[in-house]
Structure 1
């Protein structure tokens, strides 16, 4: 079944078009002494970024909450916060800070690698991933759990059977694990094309997050802004202001 964005009338039909939502992308929260891929922020830096949001009347929420608010004509002042890969430090380092600053988040996890590590990063360092109990704990604390596929595979290079397993099986496993619907998907490496996007939509997800999907931008290819250790208050201000200029308005979100 096609998404609302794909069945909607053309832009000149008089329907208002909203600016694209601001969705931030994080990975690990912890020690940065060995961080070749720049995927880690320290707890101190994350705390400062969350304080920056709250001082400006912004609040971090899950992507599910953000999109639901926008669908009802609201969402002003909401920023989507996402954490990819399901690192174990989300529960120990990120979650307490989110609670302290009254923020929510979406955690994209890999049910095919529960309790494993980030083997897909050849330069390391090895970082432990959440096991089933950790994911259930995060869900019980109000965190939205989404799928990052089964094994962190570039889906644009996967065969049809592997693609189906990565998007469909991962959703089924997470719904069984958490006992709750899984609405969101996140493309590993941000890699998405028309075939992959269609597979995610057909698997029953309500939305999917990418990084910078270009012309594919829409409910099943939401662009996100990487936030890292270098993003001090001044850089956050610039990114927030430039976001409105960089992202074209679209329908469906």
Structure 2
């Protein structure tokens, strides 16, 4: 996670010179059948959020993280994201986030409202949030709802019509569901290229979350770090150090 102010002074660097730390979660629940390692137990999430707070850090949605950094602040903020819009976000994750005074960004699929994770060929079927659940999450203080596309497809393989529907169409559909502006987009599977990034920008989003965007690092290709059930305090610390070594600062999109 981001270094403390004390460690920044020791190294002679500003934590704002480093790329923002954005954690990537998915489902919160039973981990017994989890071939893709997308699930953390409520107990583990509770421990991870407590670890953040002990280090003087606070989880926030990506919108608030980027706004704070634009003002030259945010040294103590960590971006928290939850992909796919699983129903267990409201049931299990949201109460823990509120208990620890944290916010988060929830990326949902407005083309699969009330459905399940049919794009995963292995593993258990997990229910997705319906309109009511998404609205409940969006109404909570510190929470942001963003688009994960309409149906969770690899956008780098989509033709122009599908690309518009999945990106611009999902933004319009989600805005209607929550009755508010949608600022964030998350690339399904973390796959992106210049064409896809340009489509996200042209659709009016303010930022895009990826996983490991390579040379496309920028506000429309924000790198994130996967957080799972095995991530204890030590592993979180090591992931942060690796993140700082591998990532470049996020400036203008290239």
Does the alignment reach a TM-score above 0.5? yes
Residue of structure 1 in register with 2:102 after alignment? 103
Structure 1: state its 5+ residue gaps.
1-16
How far the C-alpha of 1:223 sits from its partner, in A, is 0.3
TM normalised by structure 2 equals 0.92
1:147-206 per-position Cα deviation (integer Å, ceiling 9, x unaligned):
000000100000000000000111011111111110000000000000000000000000
How far the C-alpha of 1:249 sits from its partner, in A, is 2.3
Residue of structure 1 in register with 2:203 after alignment? 203
**Aligned ranges 1:17-96 → 2 under 5 Å:** 18-96=17-95
Residue of structure 1 in register with 2:246 after alignment? 246
Aligned-CA RMSD value: 1.1
Q: Secondary structure at the match of 2:138?
A: helix
Structure number with the bigger relative contact order (C-alpha 8 A, sep ≥ 6) is 1
Residue of structure 1 in register with 2:182 after alignment? 182
In structure 2, what is the Cα distance between the partners aligned to 1:91 and 1:136?
A: 10
In structure 1, what is the Cα distance between the partners aligned to 2:209 and 2:237?
A: 23
Q: Secondary structure at the match of 2:164?
A: helix
Q: Secondary structure at the match of 1:146?
A: strand
**Aligned ranges 1:116-195 → 2 under 5 Å:** 116-142=115-141, 143-195=143-195
Q: Secondary structure at the match of 1:130?
A: coil
In structure 1, what is the Cα distance between the partners aligned to 2:118 and 2:94?
A: 24
TM normalised by structure 1 equals 0.92
Structure 2: state its 5+ residue gaps.
1-15
* Residue correspondences, number: 237
1:68-97 per-position Cα deviation (integer Å, ceiling 9, x unaligned):
000111011100000000000000000000
In structure 2, what is the Cα distance between the partners aligned to 1:169 and 1:249?
A: 31
Stretches of 4+ aligned residues off by more than 3 angstroms: none
How far the C-alpha of 1:51 sits from its partner, in A, is 0.4
In structure 2, what is the Cα distance between the partners aligned to 1:232 and 1:19?
A: 23
Q: Secondary structure at the match of 2:17?
A: coil
In structure 1, what is the Cα distance between the partners aligned to 2:213 and 2:235?
A: 23
In structure 2, what is the Cα distance between the partners aligned to 1:173 and 1:24?
A: 26
